[in-house]
């Protein structure tokens, strides 16, 4: 399988890449704006499995105007794509009235516009797969009817946007072999969560969540399409 995962410098994305790399038959393209961490990740995967195929790609998903360079790099590595996991996320916890326009813009670029453009440009590769699966990672904060929290307005609304995007794309491409699903994650013990909410103890580890997401990425498209699925031990 050819697999593309974003947000792989730490947390869930880092663990996802390690799981995908265990199978030597998988070619795993890992994207992060922290290029050094993607190379460290590739080295760690090779130490665990000398035959692993991990391709580091340093790229900032907020740089929408430079996506042409990214897709060239992707096309140089693979001629089809079976799994795309839009895992990268950006979170600023701050009261709505104090949010700056550039902070809101950055959050929407990373959480919505970047994944949207990545999907669009990867369509030719995805269409060459017999059963491509795009998994968009959302949040319980963006899940309709869930408990909402002050300070997360921009983040939660951006995660709601990626969820509805999933439904729309599933409808638009329902006659193709590409399936689109969205996982709305509850609180997970990651660096991003710790930075936003110091001292909060999440009930799920990054490894546990990565294991679930990876299994879903491989099998979920056989049953689901266009679904927003909550994955949480609590709300959020």
Q: What is the pLDDT of residues 34-79, one digit of tens each?
A: 999 999 999 999 999 999 999 999 999 999 999 999 999 999 999 9
Chain CA centroid to CA 175, Å? 24
**Confidence (pLDDT) at 154:** 95
CA-atom Rg of the chain in angstroms: 17
Cβ proximity of 57 and 34 under 8 Å? no
Residue 150 dihedral angles phi and psi, to the nearest 5°: -60, 145
HSE-up of residue 82 (Cα within 13 Å, Cβ side):
15
Q: Which CATH number fits domain 2-231: 3.40.50.150, 3.40.50.720, 3.30.565.10, 3.90.1170.50?
A: 3.40.50.720
Question: What pLDDT is recorded for position 152?
Answer: 92
Report the side by side order of strands in the sheet with 179-185: 53-58, 27-32, 2-6, 83-86, 133-139, 179-185, 227-231
Separation CA 182–CA 174 (nearest Å): 15
pTM score, whole prediction: 0.94
How far apart (Å, rounded) are the C-alpha atoms in residues 99 and 153? 10
CB atoms within 10 A of CB 1: 17
b or e along 19-51 (b: 16 or more beta carbons within 10 Å of the residue's beta carbon)?
A: bbbebeebbbbbbbbeeebbeebbeebeeeeee
Alpha-carbon distance values, 183 to 107, 119, 137, 234 (Å): 18, 16, 5, 15
What is the model's pLDDT at position 236? Answer: 47
**Which residue ranges in the chain fall short of pLDDT 70?**
235-236
Element (H, E) at 229: strand 227-231
Check residue 189 and give its pLDDT: 76
- Copy the structure tokens of residue 84: 């795309």
């Amino acid at each position: 399988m050819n697999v593309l995962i974003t947000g792989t410098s730490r947390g869930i994305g880092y663990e996802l890449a390690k799981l995908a790399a265990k199978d030597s038959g998988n070619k795993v393209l890992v994207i992060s704006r922290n290029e050094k961490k993607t190379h460290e990740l590739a080295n760690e995967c090779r130490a665990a499995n000398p035959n692993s195929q991990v391709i580091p790609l340093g790229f900032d998903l907020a740089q929408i105007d430079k996506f042409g360079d990214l897709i060239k790099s992707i096309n140089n590595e693979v001629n089809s794509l079976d799994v795309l996991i839009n895992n990268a996320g950006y979170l600023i916890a701050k009261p709505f009235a104090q949010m700056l326009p550039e902070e809101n813009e950055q959050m929407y670029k990373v959480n919505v516009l970047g994944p949207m453009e990545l999907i669009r440009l990867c369509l030719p590769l995805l269409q060459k797969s017999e059963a491509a699966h795009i998994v968009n990672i959302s949040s319980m904060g963006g899940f309709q009817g869930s408990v909402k929290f002050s300070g997360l307005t921009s983040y939660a609304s951006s995660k709601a946007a990626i969820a509805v995007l999933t439904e729309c794309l599933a409808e638009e491409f329902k006659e193709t072999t590409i399936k689109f699903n969205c996982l709305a994650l509850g609180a997970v013990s990651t660096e991003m969560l710790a930075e936003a909410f110091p001292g909060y103890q999440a009930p799920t580890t990054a490894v546990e969540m990565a294991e679930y997401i990876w299994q879903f990425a491989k099998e979920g498209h056989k049953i689901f399409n266009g679904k927003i699925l909550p994955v949480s031990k609590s709300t959020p």
